[in-house]
Structure 1
Amino acid sequence: MSRHVAIVTDSTAYLPQQAMARHGITAVPLTVVLGDEALEEGTEISARSLAQALQKRRPVTTSRPSPQEFTRAYQAAADAGATGIVSLHLSAEFSGTYDAAVVAAQTAPVPVRVVDTGMVAMALGFCALAAAETAGTGGSVDEAVAAAEKRAAGMSAFFYVDTLDYLRRGGRIGAAQALLGSALAVKPLLQLDGGRIEMLEKVRTASKAIARLEELAVDRAGNGPVDVAVHHLAAPERAEKLAGRLRERVPGLVEMHVSEVGAVIGAHTGPGLLAVVVSPR
């Protein structure tokens, strides 16, 4: 069945394939550059390969999609019957992906609303799902955008990294903050705030940091209906344990997603990442 409003996002949403298929969501891939080889996220490089490369200290960078890739996605949506498109992307503070989508939207065959969600990973994914659910029940472009923006406004994303080195190298956190974390030998807890990664708390050990991550998520979830995602990179046991505790402690839990982040986000966080996204409905 064709949809009048199509939803396009990018590969950093890390949506489950089944959810994308069910809602007709298209994800345009970002690129990971490993040495001198450019690889599409999700199809040409796995999170496991990325983690191994980082552990071997191989040079890794990331790159936005080209406007032409968005042009192809928008054309495909129009060919499938869409009369409007909502294009939802990771924070413009992290990537030029939003800018590339804006360029492509100018020559798209149908109207395109490009939205900088200020989010990433399943914080972006939940926005895309909200827009797709609205579009799927006959909602307009404006209504789908409003649903995504409402989700984004209530979203919280907290994460733990073993080291701030990778974020510092990629320019995603200030050198002074990274140096402070290293000098004090603390384990950092960070959050998404205003589309940026900000230091939230400094904890002395990994176990205390992960326990604190759990408390933050439970507190933010409250008692109302809420979706939760737990992400990791090369730390599946840690992620499953945390997800299990949250299932027990979040009374209004509707959906729980547990997944490894892809190569683009992994390149900036490093192995050992553990993240929780809390999305009230």
Structure 2
Amino acid sequence: MAGVHVVTDSAAALPRGVVQDLAITVVAETVVLDGKAFHAGGNLGDPAYFTALRAAAGPAGVAPLAAADFADAYRRVLAWGVEVVSLHPPAWLSASASTARAAAAALPAGSPVRVVETPWVAAGLGMACIHAARAGQDATGIDDVLPRLPEPGAPMAVVMVCGDLDYARRQGRLPIGGPAGHGAPTHAVFELGAGTFAPIGPPSDVATALRGLVERVARAAGAGALHIGVWSADADAEAAAVATFLESRHAPVELWVAPADPHLGVIGGPGSFGVAVYTAPEG
């Protein structure tokens, strides 16, 4: 086998079929709730997981990966005779990039593994993995793949709708304003920045939140090839509606829907969904 293979961790929101078709290796993370482990790519996303997440009394979190997790993945892939580019989220979300670097440094000298800490999260990181995996299919080396990634300063908007504000208030990770309790607004929209979740408008009902999300996508869609990734944490109907609307309105060159990654799934909670939109420069 020739080419460059992509390794990532489950902070990348990716459609399962795409992971299989492009042979992307995903090192799976785990969320532990009330002593029970839920594994990305396995039972994380099952109804029992969302039930446990809704019932979580204290802060829920994603267990950190170990260097051995990445080292095992690298050894398996390198045995195929390929080079490896390993893409990970920014340090404000996860320590996986630094852990992956430690794993790569412990490999035999000259092992062709390049670890990249990207600025992207969720479906944004998923887009980067997809771009890299496609480029890697006929690449002669890692340096052929890296220029095919979105530029770090490229206009990529990542917007999330939280659909359970009581959960978000208990977790304390999102800036939720407005009243709480019976009859209070149920949804809020956030734009993800460098470690920040900036509210887009006040809390509202689901219809207003959906309008806020699609209007932000419209402002982000520039001239060029538009790529859209949608994710869902137990909000499949809303995610499907958003995907259908965006496809009809913007005619993207690529649009896909994926399960939420563990990190934003925990932060946004059950009933959350979001969109990453990236416009590749023309030419």
Q: TM-score, normalised by structure 1?
A: 0.86
Compare 63-72 and 260-269 and name the one that shifted more: 260-269
Residues 107-146 of structure 1 mapped to structure 2, 5 A cutoff: 107-109=106-108, 110-146=111-147
Q: Distance in 2 between matches of 1:137 and 1:75?
A: 21
Going from structure 1 to structure 2, the CA distance change for 1:124 and 1:27 (only over 3 Å counts) comes to: same
Q: Between Structure 1 and Structure 2, how many residues are aligned?
A: 274
Going from structure 1 to structure 2, the CA distance change for 1:226 and 1:277 (only over 3 Å counts) comes to: same
Q: Distance in 2 between matches of 1:38 and 1:128?
A: 26
| Structure 1 unmatched ranges of 5 or more | none
Residue 92 of structure 2 corresponds to 93
Letter in 2 for 1:255: E
Going from structure 1 to structure 2, the CA distance change for 1:141 and 1:197 (only over 3 Å counts) comes to: farther
Residues 1-281 of structure 1 mapped to structure 2, 5 A cutoff: 2-57=1-56, 60-82=60-82, 84-109=83-108, 110-150=111-151, 153-163=154-164, 166=167, 172-173=173-174, 177-178=175-176, 180-182=177-179, 187-251=187-251, 253-281=252-280
What's the secondary structure of 1:119's corresponding residue? Answer: coil
Q: Distance in 1 between matches of 2:51 and 2:223?
A: 40
Deviations 1:115-172 (A, max 9, x none): 1212222111100111112221215313322322427723211111134565566564
Compare 115-124 and 159-168 and name the one that shifted more: 159-168
Alignment check: 8 A CA contact 2:6 2:24 kept: yes
Q: Distance in 2 between matches of 1:112 and 1:182?
A: 50
Compare 71-80 and 90-99 and name the one that shifted more: 90-99
What's the secondary structure of 1:268's corresponding residue? Answer: helix
Q: In the TM superposition, what is the alpha-carbon distance from 1:61 to its structure 2 partner?
A: 2.6
Deviations 1:189-231 (A, max 9, x none): 2112125433343243331111111111123224532121222
Q: Distance in 2 between matches of 1:233 and 1:116?
A: 25
What's the secondary structure of 2:93's corresponding residue? Answer: coil
Larger fraction in helix? 1
Going from structure 1 to structure 2, the CA distance change for 1:71 and 1:170 (only over 3 Å counts) comes to: farther
Deviations 1:82-133 (A, max 9, x none): 2x32110122111111121111011124132211212222111100111112
Q: Distance in 1 between matches of 2:261 and 2:246?
A: 23
Letter in 1 for 2:29: L
Going from structure 1 to structure 2, the CA distance change for 1:153 and 1:167 (only over 3 Å counts) comes to: farther
Indicate the percent of aligned positions where both proteins have the same amino acid.
30
What's the secondary structure of 2:116's corresponding residue? Answer: strand
Letter in 2 for 1:147: R
Q: Distance in 1 between matches of 2:44 and 2:5?
A: 27
Going from structure 1 to structure 2, the CA distance change for 1:3 and 1:192 (only over 3 Å counts) comes to: farther
What's the secondary structure of 1:214's corresponding residue? Answer: helix
What's the secondary structure of 2:81's corresponding residue? Answer: coil
| TM-align CA RMSD | 2.5
Alignment check: 8 A CA contact 1:50 1:267 kept: no
Q: In the TM superposition, what is the alpha-carbon distance from 1:58 to its structure 2 partner?
A: 5.6
What's the secondary structure of 1:39's corresponding residue? Answer: strand
Alignment check: 8 A CA contact 1:151 1:280 kept: no
